[in-house]
Amino acid sequence: MTVQEILLPLFVEVVLTFALLFWLAPLRARDFNAGIARPDNVALREPNWAPRTLQVAYAYSNQFELPVLFYILTILAYITHLAGVIFVVLAWIFVVFRYLQAYVHVTSNKVRLRGAFFGISAIALAINWTIYIFEVLTLPRPL
């Protein structure tokens, strides 16, 4: 697999994270300007924002949970040269379902649907980690 094929899913996931961040910033500014939120009632992460702002904020925050394991795995698989076709397919499944989950999170926010998308992405990532761990543990030494 080429560097681009291996890293493209990671880049696309990063784009999602930045898109949510850049969407969130003006929402928070709007809440401050409208008096919905004040610095003293959100300084310790209290959820005193408008509901729409919270919806996007939680979708953004979600990008620093499960995707961290995806980032680590992608980098490890790349530097150890263990990212093959199966790795890339599972990486794309993970990213596509992260996008679907984020979309539901910032639109209808149907928890069951969002949860299903989360579950599929988590399973794809868990399978990818399982394969990677097996490959590393069965490699002839040294790497």
Cα separation, 55 vs 48, whole angstroms: 12
Residues 6+ apart with CB under 8 A from 130: none
Q: Is residue 73 part of a domain?
A: yes
Q: How far apart, in Å, are the Cα atoms of 80 and each of 17, 26, 125, 128, 132?
A: 26, 41, 18, 14, 10
Does the pLDDT value for residue 142 go beyond 80? no
Q: In percent, how much of the chain has pLDDT > 90?
A: 88
pLDDT of residue 98: 98
Mean pLDDT of the 60-72 span? 97
- Residue 86 domain-assigned? yes
**Residues 55-61: what's their mean pLDDT?**
96
Identify the domain containing residue 96 by its residue range.
3-34+49-137
Mean pLDDT of 6-11: 98
Rounded Cα distance, 104 and 10, in Å: 21
Whole-angstrom Cα distance, residue 9 to residue 51? Answer: 31
- The domain total for the chain is 1
- Is it the case that residue 51 has pLDDT exceeding 90? yes
SS3 134: helix
Predicted confidence at residue 64, as pLDDT, reads 96
**142 within a domain of the structure (yes/no):** no
- Report pLDDT for 143: 60
